Structure formats: C-alpha cells, structure tokens
Structure 1
Amino acid sequence: MIEGSVDGILSAARARLGDAPRERLGELQEGRRLLGIPRATRIAPRGTAWHLGALLLTDDGVLATGDIVRSRAEVRRGFAAESQRRRAELSAAAARGGVPEGETVHIEWHPIDLASVDAGSTPLAVRGGEALVRWSAAGGYMPLTRYLDERIDLLRHPPERA
C-alpha cells in the first residue's frame, strides 16, 4: 500500500515533468589494458533522468543522487589538493565517454527499491503512512509531494542566471 502511494506520487511527477530538461547518467569504468597498455578511465552513458535535488527520476525508476561532474577536456595543470585532481580526472573521463564539453553527468547514483524504503538507507522514507524525502545528508525530512512540487517548479522555471 505504501509502496503504491510513493510510486503514484512519482508517476504523477513524471507526467508533470514531460518535456522538462534531463541530465545524463553515467557509470565510471576503470581503464582496461589493451595489448598491455593501460587505457584511461571513462564515464560510460547509462541513460538520462530528471534531476530533482536528492533524487534522479527516470522513466521507470528513482535513483539517489551521487556525484555530479561537468565534462571538460583533459589538460595538464597543478593542483593544490588531491580532491581537485580527482574532480579534473572525472571531468576528463566524462569527455572521453562522449559527454559534450560543459554538460553535466551524474555518477555513483544508486537505484532506490520502493518496496524496501526505510529511513537511513535512502533519501526516501515512510513514516506514519506519509512519504518523506531527506533533501541532504544533514537535513531533515519533508513531505515528498511538497519537495517534488518545489523541485519541478525549479526545473521548469530556473532562477535567472542559474
């Protein structure tokens, strides 16, 4: 019963999204060796989804958002932090995977099984029969319908210069 209500809420959101812009999904693939020479890591395409904050909504499922990377050509440069180096490597991997420069791609996302939604393991939870979403790791829960209303409005009408 509860799974059905969450699924119904998500189906209604899909209908409202219609032709709203989608973002790419990708999967990080470590480079294999070809004739003993290591190949570079790349991000392989895995479809598209509507990015709704902590959730990625696909035509037939819902995913928990992971990392978001903007595709950029690989260039040599110095980095002050290892995290900057890793982000640049991921951006270059997106370009090698065919993501046009400047576009975003979502990686390290996780499918959410609506049949086993519980607090703590996904951004979605059901408490007292109400579907809730946790919009950040440190944030609290809010009603899923209200969250989706806000996110769909932002996606359809982004703030100026966003």
Structure 2
Amino acid sequence: MTSAAELIADARGALEGIPKEGLGEERSSRWRGDRIVRVGEAWHVGVLLLTDDRTLVTAEILRAADPGRRGYTAESARERAARRQMALRGGFGEGEVAHIGWTVVDLDAVDAGGSSGPLAMRDGVPMVNWSGSAYRPLEAYLREQLELLRP
C-alpha cells in the first residue's frame, strides 16, 4: 500500500524546477491598512498546494493588480478588485498569483484511515475529492496534474 504522504513526497520531487506561486495572509494595521502579505510559496497542484514541508488545500486565488479607475456593475467585482489591490499593497508583484485562505492537510490522519481536507483513505487507497463529491485515486490525480504543469 502506498501512503498519501509517500505520494505527496514523490510529487514534490517531480515538481523540482517548476515555479511556485505565492501564499498570502490578510493583515491589518492602523498604519499600513488592510493588505495581503506573502507568507511563503507553494506549487499549485489542482485542489492542493504543496510547500517544501506541508500540504495545503486551495481556497481563494487572485492576481495582484491595481484596480485603476473602473465602474463596476456588480459589488462582487468591486470587492475582488479591492482584494487584488490588497495583495499588491502587501508586496505581491503586479500580476503575481496569491493563494489566500488555504488550510493545512493532515497527511498522518489520512494515512491512519481518516480524512483531512479533500484527501481521504478509502479501502486502503489514498483518494482525493476534486469536484465536490467525486473521489478518485490520489496517485492518478497527482500524475495527471503534474503532466499539466510540465513545460
């Protein structure tokens, strides 16, 4: 049996040389205002973010940008533009990807037969829930995602 931890470790090895994307966290201060600051970097592998030592679940993904002067027909578009500007203000470069709101996956819990985030052990096979209700083997999922990332 191959564990989820082993599959993730193998994926990390295969990702060497592929660029990482920024991990951000929201910060607020009286002097610097609201911003999204860089707290690390990770490879974006489908529903997962892989750092050098952690496995995370993706959440909000945005590109840092200056909203400029625009009229918005939807309040949600205005809010999204404000969040892109928060990333720019927090130190992300113009157009750089920022992952916000991610959570940590407990691979030990998965390998013990449980679940964490989108990963679960089903009949001794590490599985990933990649579309809300559809589980598939983690090994095949990672293989497919790695192929998409390779130049």
Q: CA offset at residue 136 of structure 1?
A: 2.3
Q: Which digits, 9 at most, give the CA deviation of each residue in 1:54-74, with x for residues without a partner?
A: 000111010000100101024
Q: Which of 23, 26, 29 does residue 25 from structure 1 map onto?
A: 23
Corresponding residue to 1:153 among 130, 147, 151: 147
Kindly, what percent of the aligned residue pairs are identical? 46
Rounded to whole Å, the distance in 2 between the matches of 1:86 and 1:49 is 25
Equivalent in the alignment of 2:79? 86
Unaligned runs of 5+ in 1: 158-162
Contact 2:5–2:108 at 8 Å: present in 1 too? no
SS of the residue corresponding to residue 126 of structure 2 reads: strand
Is 1:11 matched with 2:9? yes
* RMSD over equivalenced CA pairs, Å: 1.7
Deviations 1:20-58 (A, max 9, x none): 1111100011x3223xxxx43111111111100100011
- Three-state SS of the structure 1 residue aligned to 2:5 is helix
Counterpart residue number, 1:160: none
Gaps of 5+ in 2: none
Work out the CA distance in 2 between the residues paired with 1:33 and 1:60: 33
**Does structure 1 retain, via aligned residues, the 8 Å contact 2:67–2:85?**
yes
Output the CA distance in 2 between the equivalents of 1:45 and 1:155.
Answer: 22
Aligned residues: 148
The aligned counterpart of 2:119 is: 124
Within 2, Cα distance between the matches of 1:85 and 1:23?
24
Which ranges of 4 or more aligned residues in structure 1 deviate by more than 6 Å?
Answer: none
Distance in 1 between residues matched to 2:146 and 2:94, nearest whole Å:
26
Deviation at 1:9, TM superposition (A): 0.7
94-103 or 71-80, which deviates more:
71-80
Secondary structure at the counterpart of residue 41 of structure 1: strand
Q: Helix, strand or coil: the match of 2:136? A: strand
TM-score (norm 1): 0.85
